[in-house]
Every structure is written in C-alpha cells, then in structure tokens.
C-alpha cells in the first residue's frame, strides 16, 4: 500500500466511524476550491485589496466585530425577525392551504388571486407594508411571513389534494365527521409536503430578511452589511454574508432537513440520503 493509499484509507475509515465528521466534510468540502480560487485571485492582484480582501481577512474582521462591535446583537435581532415571520407564514399558509385544498369552489375562486399575489412578490409589497406599519420589526416580520406563506400554502394544498379520497371516505363510513377527516387523514397525509414547503419558504425568508433590513431597519445583519459599504469595509460585508449563510445552513441541516426526513419516513415514503 502506497503512502497516498494509506492516507486515503485512514481518512475513509475515520469518516465511516464518525458520521458527523462525514457530514461536515460533505457540506464544507465544496467550499475548499472556492476559497482556494479566491486566494489565487487575491495573489494575482486583479483587484485592489480594498475591493477584494484575502480570505484570512474575514475571520479577522469577524473577531473584531464580535469583540469591538455588536455583531451578536445584530445576529440575534435578525434571527428573531426571520423566526417570527417564518412561523407566521407557516401558520397562515397551512390554514389557507387547508381551506382551499378541501374546497373545490374556494380553489376555483381564489386561484387567480393567489397567482397574482405570488407574482407581485414581497419586495413589491414592502413600500405598502412600510406605510401601513412603519419602519419597525413588524414590517420586516410581515415581509418575511409573506415570503414563507406561498411555498407553505401550495405545499399544504397540493399535499391535501394528493391524499387518496378512499382514506377520507373510510373515516366517513366509520362515523367520523369532516373534522376527523381533516385532522386525522388530510393534514397528516399532507405533512411531508407542508414541511418541504416550509423548508423552501425559510430559504427565501432568509434572503428577504437581509434585504428588508438593508432598506428599513436600524439594527440587524443586513443593516451592518449595508452600512459597511459606506466605509468600503468589504471584509465586514463578507462577514455578514458568511454569517447569514452559516445560520441558514445550520438551520436547514440540523433542524428542517431532519424534520423533513423524519416526517416523510413516518408516512411511508422512501427517503434518499443527501
């Protein structure tokens, strides 16, 4: 066995014995060539350092912002906004999605309106939200909720429509009412689609909260990134991008993805490991 083969074998065995390490390697591995290319561009001096700092400048800027600035407070404010907006969008999406999914007449009546509202987008509504609610957290939370609502709504509606009608008819035959059909058949059957819609919506919600903070907030990760441009602190902007991306990856990989997988497995659908 050559030295290279021995190293590869030890690495493979180590990853096999430690699933968390394998997951970490799988998730972070694609970033290695990206950082290497970034460092090469910096060394070639294609742009001034003030426009594109070296990768090593980002952790240095992060340490400065944590110790000398209020980066933790900014991050917590952003997390609060995206969480509150996401939960509001989830609740409203499930409620209206269930109503439309169980009523053919309501589905036909609201289909055009829902398509129109989705086409306008949350940023198109932001000026109205500002007029109605002001420059405050409510406006940002409302914007995030609007973003999360549509994937959850369509997931709930599609999930309910996909449940075999024979299951609902069986409950009715055994003496159950419409409430039993909804809570014991339709919503459980639609749960995988609801969770998937929520996961997609929260991904969009993170982008929305950063943009909304840049436009109207006084505190938050988006505010820090937007104000950094005034001082040409590209390293601060990159810190904000990295923190936002890491927060979303942690939320997705350790909360939403496991929840989605367990929900799908619970209802008898094969899950492909990702």
> For 42-58, how does the pLDDT look when each residue is reduced to its tens digit (9 = 90+)?
888 888 888 889 999 99
Q: Is the pLDDT of residue 2 over 70?
A: no
Q: Is the pLDDT of residue 140 over 70?
A: yes
Q: Is the pLDDT of residue 212 over 90?
A: yes
Name the residue ranges covered by the structural domains of the chain: 69-266
> For 110-123, how does the pLDDT look when each residue is reduced to its tens digit (9 = 90+)?
888 888 888 888 88
More confident residue, 180 or 210: 210
Contact predicate 158/193, CB 8 Å = yes
Average pLDDT for 173-195: 79
**CA–centroid distance for 53 within its chain:** 28
Q: Is the pLDDT of residue 144 over 70?
A: yes
Fold of the domain built from segment(s) 69-266: MetI-like fold (1.10.3720)
- Which residues are within 8 A (CB) of 220 and not within 5 positions of it... i.e. 6 or more apart? 74, 77, 78, 81, 140, 209, 213
CA distances (Å), origin 224, targets 20, 77, 210, 221: 33, 12, 10, 5
> For 62-90, how does the pLDDT look when each residue is reduced to its tens digit (9 = 90+)?
999 999 888 999 999 999 999 999 999 99
Q: What is the dihedral of CA 34, 36, 40, 46, to 10 degrees?
A: 30
pLDDT at res. 270: 46
pLDDT at res. 244: 94
């Amino acid at each position: 066995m050559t030295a290279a083969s021995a190293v590869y074998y030890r690495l493979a065995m180590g990853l096999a014995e430690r699933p968390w390490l394998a997951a970490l390697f799988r998730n972070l591995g694609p970033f290695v060539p990206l950082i290497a290319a970034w460092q090469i561009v910096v060394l070639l001096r294609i742009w001034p350092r003030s426009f594109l700092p070296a990768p090593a400048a980002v952790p240095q800027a992060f340490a400065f912002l944590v110790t000398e600035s209020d980066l933790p407070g900014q991050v917590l404010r952003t997390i609060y906004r995206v969480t509150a907006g996401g939960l509001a969008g989830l609740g409203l999406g499930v409620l209206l999605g269930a109503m439309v999914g169980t009523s053919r007449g309501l589905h036909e009546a609201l289909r055009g309106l829902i398509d129109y509202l989705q086409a306008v987008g949350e940023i198109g509504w932001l000026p109205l939200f500002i007029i109605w609610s002001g420059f405050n957290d409510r406006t940002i939370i409302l914007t995030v909720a609007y973003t999360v609502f549509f994937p959850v709504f369509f997931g709930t509606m599609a999930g309910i429509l996909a449940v075999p009608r024979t299951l609902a008819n069986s409950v009715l035959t055994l003496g159950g009412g419409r409430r039993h059909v909804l809570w014991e058949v339709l919503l459980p059957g639609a749960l995988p689609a609801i969770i998937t819609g929520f996961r997609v919506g929260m991904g969009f919600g993170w982008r929305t909260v950063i943009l909304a903070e840049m436009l109207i907030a006084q505190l938050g990760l988006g505010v820090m990134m937007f104000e950094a441009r005034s001082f040409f602190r590209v390293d601060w902007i990159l810190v904000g991008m990295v923190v936002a991306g890491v927060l979303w990856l942690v939320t997705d990989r350790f909360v939403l993805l496991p929840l989605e997988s367990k929900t799908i497995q619970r209802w008898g659908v094969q899950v492909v490991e990702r």
